[in-house]
Chain A
């Protein structure tokens, strides 16, 4: 499930001294079949997502939210696959293929944005906890544990429940600064923030562990003895050394965030319609599933392929950046 994926990288990158053999890593990266396949799929998906509007303009794809009058037969049943609709139509007469392709825009955007949010939080917490240790470390780690003990999807559902059009005033009532009113409603932004806020705890433990060991290494101690500030120590010495781990975790976390986005869409609390989302397509297509299985199978396969690509990439990165583990 969603969160499982982060855990396998219990020690994804072996500790290395600062002058990482960059060339070596580069070639290991490029030669790793998993990286090739994963990155290749992601590249194709990204290109497709970017090109989707153009493809629509030149007539290869249909408008994803357009309810085609010919998209339903006389009884209102979706059309089976044909030359015009390669994957058939959905329950509103919309082209399934177009929706799947446009769905990649939503999924990849939200997945990436949420991954960045989660990484930002996760890395910060991990760095701070590992670097400063003591009470701060204890508190942060307990907070992380607490978040880990809740199923991410349940937490995301609870967050999503907040997004019901309520307006939050970020200014005192007597000031009428309406530009500081935030409307809590479901959209791309709220969904990626929710997922970002839910997905970070998985990263913390690994980052912290690395920071703990790097902190004690000679070159860090030497820099400290020379009077380097904490900020400098973190930014110049520690961060560069955890970066490979962060990249591996980020790739795998993207798989998580995309899966979670699909889950929220499936439960009807993702990006609202008519935007094409894979999870939403599966949910909306279910009543048509037995009669027209493609409506559900197609977006499901899209999820599988995308998540698989990110997982393969993460797996490959881990191998390439950690030659010790996989000779």
Chain B
């Protein structure tokens, strides 16, 4: 998904404190993918040993900026897998106490969420809140392992195409009605329905009969069946390995079919699910309140209520946190550093790593960026180490397209090192001895990207490229960047949905996915050899082979240089000291129902 959320990032810096460096070194231990048991049977294990170092990272993180309600995020389907390494983030001393029940968790968000309807919800603040209300068959455990949630057992056929679930008896919706397998059929179809425009639709298109249903050509999805109230069977068109992870996303959570039918689109105001909490109040743009669901039988859900206030900007929220008015803030880079440098506050800070790449894209269909020499010149012109410090200093420099934290290595990187002389030489060679004028677009509501853009502008200027800054709001940027011949040069960011290199390479740079509008390939980069490599890799089930293909593709892409990869972000989070269980969730960064309040 695209871009970042408001606050920002710090993390181990250039001269990082020892602890942070330690974190970094742990990543490198897990860099190799080879020991990540990817054989199908291994993947089926429902819970890995505590010593297993391998994790699925975060699936879903997107921008939550001021305009989050409408920020679009192109979606991606990814058909592959890589389980990855997440480094154990800092664990606070307080986490050793036993979870206890009670208290109210107070949260703050800069702007309201679009919806917590599990078919709609799709960003880093929405998903964990959606999980308070809704649950499904599978869930991610504390180590990003797949665990059974509201299913009592599951089975995948040897050909990898048929998933059979039996529902756990006694599971009821918040209105008291027991959950039936038919509710799952209904919920899955709802995500695919052409009326809903669910951002999760593409995840489900590998189900048999799904494309026909999504196109409105079939009344039901033939691959979804409920032979009895406790059995739910999913048949896939192709054995997509990653589909099992989809089943733990909120799109696969169950909604009560009678209630949804009754309210229609108004279901978003009457959210009822089978999660640990129920919706007590939603005042648009003002506040959300969640209270215990009396029908819930699971052991999680420690706090009595969750209160979310809307509208405080980041600076205000940080002051509120310090004064004990709220319990969590996504820290700005400066605040993260201040908390780290202040002994009293140091333990409030938790750093979570995210699989993301912020990058400059050059529109390969627009002059002068249709010239590969110009694109390479731009790559040499950008001083990434300097940019890193502008964004708070603790992210990592991006050498390639795919974030290394996904377990990705590519020995041919970095391809371009900062070298303004070489950039000027390339520009001369390309026929621009005096540089040229262009426009650099970015989203004004995402300060990190804005800072990167302002920094890059100065670097470009130094080699003779005069780029006028074009700050626009998120919606405008998303629409314009996805449309042909609109933006010559822009700054963008992408967060993984799935821990797979294809989530970056295939989704963002496969020329066959270019569309006139809504295009994720914002460089409009189209190299047939790359396309072929990516197409082969995505449908390949041999892990070694597909990684090799992806690596070849990344090499070719870096040679053609449609992007300047800038940085990989890290998310600094500040938690009130009374809150426990705040170690970063490997998938969603935080899970409110797994935190508790120390009296």
Q: B397 → chain A, closest Cβ, in Å?
A: 13
A77 interface neighbour in B337, B391, B447, B469, Cβ under 8 Å: B337
Taking the closest CB of chain B, its distance from the CB of A20, in whole angstroms, is 50
In the complex, B107 has a CB within 8 A of chain A: no
From the candidates A92, A284, A291, A292, name the one contacting B455 in the complex (CB within 8 A).
A92
Chain B window 34-78, contacts with chain A (Cβ cutoff 8 Å), 1 for yes, 0 for no: 000000000000000000000000000000000000000000000
- Near A by CB (< 8 A), chain B positions 385-422 give 386, 388-394
- Contact residue among B13, B332, B455, B471 (Cβ-Cβ distance under 8 Å from A74): B13
Q: How far is the CA of A185 from the CA of B470 in the complex (A)?
A: 9
Q: How many residues of A sit at the interface, in one of the four size bands? A: 20 to 34
Partner pick for A76 among B388, B445, B457, B476, CB 8 A cutoff: B388
Cβ B393 vs Cβ A274 within 8 A? no
Instruction: Write the chain A residue with the least CB distance to B331.
Output: A287
* Residue A65 is within 8 A (CB to CB) of chain B in the complex: yes
User: What separation, in Å, do the CA atoms of A154 and B15 have in the docked complex?
Assistant: 46
Contact B386 A69 (CB under 8 A): yes
Answer whether A273 and B332 are a contact pair too, CB < 8 Å, given A75-B394, A92-B390: no
Q: What chain A residues lie within 8 Å of B470 (beta carbons)?
A: 165, 185, 272
One of B10, B318, B393, B469 near A290 (C-beta < 8 A): B318
* Residues in chain B near residue A67, CB distance under 8 A: 386, 390, 454-455, 458
A159 in the interface (beta carbon within 8 A)? no
In the assembly, what is the distance between CA of A92 and CA of B13, in Å? 16
A274 to B338, CA, bound (A): 26
Q: Which of B293-325 contact A (CB under 8 A)?
A: 313-315, 318-319
Q: Does B501 contact A (CB under 8 A)?
A: no
A75-B393 contact, Cβ under 8 Å, with A272-B469, A291-B334: yes
Complex interface residues of chain B between 425 and 482 (CB less than 8 A to chain A): 444-445, 447, 450-451, 454-455, 457-458, 469-472, 476
- Indicate if A218 sits at the interface (CB-CB under 8 A): no
Tell me if A76 and B458 are in contact (CB < 8 A). no
Residues of B within 8 Å of A, CB-based: how many?
A: 39
Which of A67, A78, A272, A290 has the most C-beta atoms of chain B within 10 angstroms of its own C-beta? A67
Known: A268-B471, A286-B315, A287-B315. A76 touches B13 (CB 8 A): yes
A274 to B466, CA, bound (A): 13
Partner of A287, one of B15, B447, B454, B476: B447
Which residues in window 330-374 of B have CB below 8 A to A?
Answer: 332-335, 337-338
* Distance of A287 Cα from B572 Cα, bound (Å): 14
- A291–B15 alpha-carbon span in the complex (Å): 19
Query: Given contacts A76-B392, A76-B394, is CB(A288)–CB(B332) below 8 Å?
Result: yes
A78 vs B334: C-alpha distance when bound (angstroms):
8
Question: Shortest Cβ distance from B148 into chain A, in angstroms?
Answer: 42
Near B by CB (< 8 A), chain A positions 267-307 give 268, 272-274, 284, 286-292
User: A325 on the interface (CB 8 Å rule)?
Assistant: no
Chain A positions within 8 Å of B318 at CB level: 290
A164 touches B476 (CB 8 A): yes
Chain B CB within 8 A of A152 CB:
no
List of A residues within 8 angstroms of B315 by Cβ: 286-287, 289-290
CB of A117 within 8 Å of the partner chain: no
**Judging by beta carbons under 8 Å apart, are A290 and B335 in contact?**
yes
- State whether the Cβ of A93 lies closer than 8 Å to any Cβ in chain B: yes
CB distance from A282 to the nearest CB of B (A): 11
Structural contact, A72 and B389, CB atoms closer than 8 A: yes
A291 vs B331: C-alpha distance when bound (angstroms): 12
Q: Does B259 sit at the interface, judged by CB under 8 A?
A: no
Of residues 66 through 96 on chain A, the ones whose CB sits less than 8 Å from some CB of chain B are 66-67, 69, 72, 74-78, 91-93
Bound Cα distance A69, B387 (Å) = 10
On whether the beta carbons of A273 and B471 are closer than 8 Å, the reply is yes
Expressed in whole angstroms, the Cα–Cα distance for A211 and B15 within the complex equals 70
Query: Is the CB–CB distance between B14 and A292 below 8 Å?
Result: no
Task: Establish whether residues B390 and A287, one from each chain, have CB atoms under 8 Å apart when the complex forms.
Answer: no
Interface string of B491-508 (1 = CB under 8 A from A): 000000000000000000
Q: List 16 A-B contacts (CB under 8 A).
A: A66-B458, A72-B390, A74-B15, A74-B393, A75-B10, A93-B390, A164-B476, A272-B469, A272-B470, A273-B450, A286-B314, A287-B332, A288-B332, A290-B319, A290-B338, A292-B334
A contact residues vs B (CB 8 Å cutoff): 65-67, 69, 72, 74-78, 91-93, 164-165, 185, 268, 272-274, 284, 286-292
Chain B residues within 8 Å of A, Cβ to Cβ: 7-8, 10, 13-15, 313-315, 318-319, 332-335, 337-338, 386, 388-394, 444-445, 447, 450-451, 454-455, 457-458, 469-472, 476
New A-B contacts (10) at CB < 8 Å, excluding given A268-B444, A291-B335? A72-B393, A75-B13, A76-B10, A92-B455, A164-B472, A272-B469, A274-B454, A286-B315, A287-B332, A291-B338
Ranked nearest first, the 8 interchain pairs of A and B with the lowest CB-CB distance are A76-B393, A287-B332, A76-B389, A74-B15, A291-B338, A288-B334, A291-B334, A75-B393
